[in-house]
């Protein structure tokens, strides 16, 4: 695709010195990590904390020190090693929690204790059994206690969006007088709407005593899918701290997604008139790191960092993108560290995108031949979700992109043990009627199988990407192996499916070998020549 000036480039890289700063408070390691399926050990938390520091996060909520010895240790280690951001620990308005936070944060260059106490009538009656005055007294006592143990104190009125406005003003006014420098009004259950939360923050800033001396913060959950919209509405109404997580992870449906909030403020900077200190080119790498540490992937259609965020299959969209990227992209993939826009070829793609891709591969197809090539492309696209370059090359050369073979897997055996190498043996059949068996040793069963297939076929594969995912559920679930390998200065892709992931890997490798061999049918592989 030809590079063109992007319509939002002027808002992309250089901050506006006149714009107000919105602080990014990341709670991936606390609210995000405590969600089912996202637990991280201490080493993983430290890796994530370093990534968040590199991202430019202002405040990192490293954990809940009183929750467990491991959580305490994680917060203490993060506080000791980080130098840029403020390191924060969560605490209830209990002396033991506050003391644990103080001890965990004592080595931090800049520390914050984040106190929380429920304020809504529902929580006061059924969770706390406290009166309004008891809530205020407990909050103020906790804030005064915490002030002597850290550099700054934040107070959160849990379930603030379902709290009476006049009482919320009273609580926040008392908290500010007691020494809290950040006041957080969280939508704890994801109940509010953008209009309501904007009205609340406007009201709080107007009525809380000492409002000009504190920072108002927003912390939104995504139960109704409005966490990001509500966070942005709060910013529009004067909130200058957003509490969020990478990939939007968190309790129940999650928290506001940091990457979405940050990029919305950046792309729409003229509208919001604010900026953050986030290095946006690290958003995608940080998102990927979190998926690796937790084993939880993001949806393909996830905004900003999803696999489809900068991918276009529709022929109409592809035609527009080829003319000017601004027709269908409001930001560049490079802005979030993702790489290049992808024009995905599938059943919705048109002739313009197909011709452009063929030309980029070195295939000039005249108009007379284009009709036939396009017809074959459409026929294949109706059968496959996505057409890869090797499929296109087969079509351009008049080959059958769906051909199976010449190699087929006949037998596979693997053996491995903890702390040692693995071995694999394969028996392959070739369309010429011969069979060949080979064995190899590798760092693991996958590596051993790949080495054995290389020896049997005489084709060297430099694997650059390997992914395994479940494509069905249950004890007999099938797994799909996806391989990308480098051979003869180009990338080749292969897929394999089996209830055994090692077998699926073998099928994926053979798919690549077969495509390579079909491109050069006159040159037999070394293994076949030996038969």
Please report, in range form, the residues annotated as the binding site for Mn(2+). 31, 219, 221, 255
- Report yes or no: 321 and 1 within 8 Å, Cβ to Cβ: yes
Indicate the burial class of 303 (C-beta count within 10 angstroms; 0-12, 13-18, 19 or more).
middle
Q: Which two tokens stand for residue 235?
A: 């910013």
CB-based contacts of 378: which residues, under 8 Å, 6+ apart? 347
Asked if omega into 406 is within 30° of 0 (cis), the reply is: yes
Handedness of CA 42, 48, 54, 59 (dihedral sign): negative
Buried b (16+ CB within 10 A) or exposed e, 350-364: bbbbbbbbbeeeebe
Question: What Å distances lie between residue 430 and 66, 125, 133, 529, CA to CA?
Answer: 63, 75, 83, 11
Indicate the burial class of 251 (C-beta count within 10 angstroms; 0-12, 13-18, 19 or more).
middle
Per the annotation, binding residues are 31, 219, 221, 255
d(CA 123, CA 117): 9
DSSP 245: B
Q: What's the per-residue H, E or C state across 374-388?
A: HHHHHHHHCCCCCEC
Q: Which two tokens stand for residue 204?
A: 């709080």
Indicate the burial class of 375 (C-beta count within 10 angstroms; 0-12, 13-18, 19 or more).
exposed
Buried b (16+ CB within 10 A) or exposed e, 85-95: bbbbbbbbbee
């Amino acid at each position: 695709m030809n590079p063109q000036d992007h319509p939002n480039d002027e808002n992309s890289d250089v901050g506006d010195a006149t714009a107000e700063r919105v602080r990014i408070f990341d709670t991936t390691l606390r609210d995000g990590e405590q969600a089912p399926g996202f637990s991280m050990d201490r080493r993983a938390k430290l890796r994530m904390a370093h990534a968040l520091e590199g991202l430019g996060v202002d405040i990192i909520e490293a954990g809940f020190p009183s929750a467990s010895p491991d959580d305490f240790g994680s917060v203490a280690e993060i506080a000791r090693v980080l130098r840029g951001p403020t390191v924060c620990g969560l605490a209830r308005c209990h002396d033991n929690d506050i003391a644990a936070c103080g001890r965990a944060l004592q080595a931090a260059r800049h520390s914050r204790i984040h106190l929380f106490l429920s304020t809504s009538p529902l929580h006061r009656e059924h969770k706390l059994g406290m009166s309004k005055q008891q809530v205020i007294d407990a909050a103020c006592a906790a804030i005064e206690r915490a002030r002597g143990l850290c550099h700054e104190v934040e107070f959160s009125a849990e379930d603030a969006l379902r709290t009476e406005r006049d009482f919320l003003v009273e609580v926040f006014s008392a908290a500010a007088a007691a020494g809290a420098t950040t006041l957080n009004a969280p939508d704890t259950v994801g109940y509010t709407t953008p209009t309501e939360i904007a009205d609340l923050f406007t009201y709080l800033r107007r009525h809380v005593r000492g409002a000009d001396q504190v920072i108002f913060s927003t912390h939104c959950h995504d139960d109704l899918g409005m966490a990001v919209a509500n966070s942005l509405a709060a910013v529009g109404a004067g909130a200058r701290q957003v509490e969020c997580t990478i990939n939007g992870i968190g309790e129940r449906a999650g928290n506001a997604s940091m990457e979405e909030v940050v990029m919305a403020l950046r792309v729409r900077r003229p509208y919001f008139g604010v900026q953050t200190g986030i290095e946006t080119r690290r958003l995608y790498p940080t998102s990927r790191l979190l998926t690796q540490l937790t084993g939880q992937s993001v949806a393909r259609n996830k905004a900003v960092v999803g696999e489809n965020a900068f991918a276009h299959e529709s022929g109409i969209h592809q035609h527009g993108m080829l003319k000017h990227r601004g027709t269908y992209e409001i930001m560049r993939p490079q802005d979030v560290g993702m790489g290049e826009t992808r024009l995905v070829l599938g059943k919705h793609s048109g002739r313009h995108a197909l011709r452009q891709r063929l030309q980029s591969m070195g295939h000039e197809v005249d108009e007379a031949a284009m009709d036939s090539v396009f017809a074959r492309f459409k026929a294949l696209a109706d059968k496959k979700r996505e057409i890869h370059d090797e499929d296109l090359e087969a079509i351009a050369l008049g080959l059958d992109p769906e051909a199976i073979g010449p190699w087929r897997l006949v037998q596979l055996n693997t053996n491995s043990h903890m702390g040692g190498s693995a071995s694999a043996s394969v028996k392959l059949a070739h369309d010429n009627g011969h069979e060949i068996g080979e064995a190899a040793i590798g760092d693991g069963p996958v590596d051993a199988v790949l080495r054995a297939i290389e020896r049997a076929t005489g084709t060297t594969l430099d694997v650059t990407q390997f992914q395994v995912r479940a494509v069905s559920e249950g004890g007999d679930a099938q797994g799909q192996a996806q391989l990308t390998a480098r051979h003869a200065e180009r990338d080749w892709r292969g897929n394999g499916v089996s209830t055994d992931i090692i077998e699926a890997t073998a099928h994926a490798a053979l798919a690549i070998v077969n495509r390579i061999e079909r491109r050069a049918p006159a040159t037999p592989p070394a293994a076949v020549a030996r038969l």
